[in-house]
Structure 1
Amino acid sequence: MQREVISVAWIDEHKSKVERQMSVGSTSEHTLEIISRQMENCRTTVRAMTTKLKVDRC
C-alpha cells in the first residue's frame, strides 16, 4: 500500500492556526476519520475536504 504525507491546516475555536502532518494510506475514508478526530470543532471543514480528497484520488 502506497503511503504519502499530507499537511492539514485549520483554524481552531480560538482562531489559532493548527497544522498536522499525517501519513496517509490509499483510503480517503481512513484519512478523513483521523482528520475529523483532530478537528472536532470544524465539521464543516471536514465536509468540504471530503469532496476534495475524493476528487484528488480519482
Structure 2
Amino acid sequence: MPKDIDALVALNRDPGLLLDDRHVVQCLPTDDSLDLLADIPNGYFTDDWSPFDG
C-alpha cells in the first residue's frame, strides 16, 4: 500500500509521468451536436472512452 501512495504522490507532483511526449488534438468545427457526438473517440485505442463513458 505505501508504494501505491508514493506513486500517487509522485504523479500529483509531476503529471507528465503519465502523459505521452506527443499529444494529438482534433478540432471539429460544427454547430450540429450530432457531429460532435460522432467525433467522440470510438475505441480504436485501448484508453478511448466510448459514448457510454464519462
Q: TM-score, normalised by structure 1?
A: 0.28
Computing the radius of gyration from Cα coordinates, the structure with the larger value is 2
Q: TM-score, normalised by structure 2?
A: 0.29
> Which has the larger helix fraction?
1
